[in-house]
Amino acid sequence: MSHAFYLDIDRCTGCFACAVACMDQNDLEIGAEPTAWRQVFTVETGSGPSARLRYVSLACMHCEDAPCLMACPTGAIAREAGTRVVRVDADLCIGCHSCSIACPFGVPRFGEDGTMQKCDLCSVRLEHGLEPACVRVCPSKALRQGSPNVLGSDVEKKAAGRLAAGS
């Protein structure tokens, strides 16, 4: 089954639980911000009385035509058949940062050994029928993971509801 992420920014409260859960799941050092595989960004929207803060939780999007994959000169990045998860093979990575330059979302991180690392969609958890750690802890259910068809249909329904409500 192929997998995708969906973030409902109307629900995200910027609590950082997803980012902390990811660091815990992947034994990343809390507080070492550049190594975080999931980050939560604060965005200001609107102006005057309608100004408000929005929060965007972002990790690897496992892009369909992944620019990082195309930029990697060694074939260290590959898309897994079936799940469509974009993976990195540390043994093939030479730490050239080409993927980092190519990724439009600033996702690739580099560990102490200089090789690229990023979200693998919690593949081990998925293999055991568990949700990704970041999705499991999200208290407002802003973050979801599932098949692209189901998530895409939910996004369309939400957009249709907004249109109907005139917002």
* Residues binding ligand SF4 (CB under 6 A): 21-22, 25-26, 37-38, 59-63, 66-68, 71-72, 74, 76-77, 86, 88, 93-99, 103, 105, 107-108, 116, 118-122, 132-134
Q: Minimal distance in Å, beta carbon 158 to ligand SF4?
A: 22
Smallest gap from residue 161 Cβ to ligand SF4 (A): 27
Rg (CA), the chain: 17
Helix (H, G, I), strand (E, B) or coil at 154: helix
Question: Which pair of tokens denotes residue 61?
Answer: 């999007």
Rounded Cα gap, residues 69 and 19, in angstroms: 24
Find the shortest distance in angstroms from Cβ 96 to ligand SF4. Answer: 4
Could you tell me if 35 and 28 are in contact, meaning their C-beta atoms sit under 8 angstroms apart?
A: yes
Beta bridge partners of 5: 145
Q: Toward ligand SF4, which CB reaches closer, 79 or 166? A: 79
12/122 with CB nearer ligand SF4: 122
Which tokens in the block code for residue 132? 């990704």
